Amino acid sequence: EYRGVAVFGELHIIDDENEAANALQLLLDKYFPHLQPGKDYRPVVAEELKRTTVYRLEIREWSGKQKQVEADFPGAFRYESLPEMIAEPATNGANHDV
């Protein structure tokens, strides 16, 4: 199974300090909604923003695709339970027992 997206557009550097801080906070809110600024982490300070480049992507077009298979698809397994694979050393036809 897979999912993929291709995005085409124009990147812009966000120069405004407040807009950049807000964009970073939006990322934290999205991926770590259980954390609270000032309680679980300290807010970003201006000196850190000077060393950080934040981009805004204006999407012009995008496309995506996915392939799904049935749960009992032969050979399918969940990533969390990768099968153990034992690799045999390559001999390239050489006899090492000489």
- DSSP-assigned states of every residue in 42-68: PPP-HHHHHT---EEEEEEEEEEEEE-
pLDDT of 95 reads: 54
| Backbone torsion region of residue 26, taken as left when φ is above 0, otherwise alpha when ψ lies between -120 and 50, otherwise beta | alpha
State the pLDDT at residue 13: 97
Q: Where along the chain do its domains lie?
A: 2-67
Do residues 72 and 39 touch, judged by C-beta distance below 8 A? no
Task: Collapse the DSSP code of 9 into the 3-class scheme (helix H, G, I; strand E, B; otherwise coil) and give the result.
Answer: strand
H/E stretch holding 3: strand 2-13
- Specify the pLDDT at position 89: 57
For every one of its 98 residues, what pLDDT tens digit does the chain have, with 9 covering 90 and above? 788 999 999 999 999 999 999 999 999 999 999 999 889 999 888 899 999 999 999 999 999 999 887 877 777 666 666 556 555 555 555 555 54
Identify the burial level of 20 via C-beta atoms within 10 angstroms of its C-beta, where 0-12 means exposed, 13-18 middle and 19 or more buried: buried
Percent of the chain with pLDDT over 90: 57
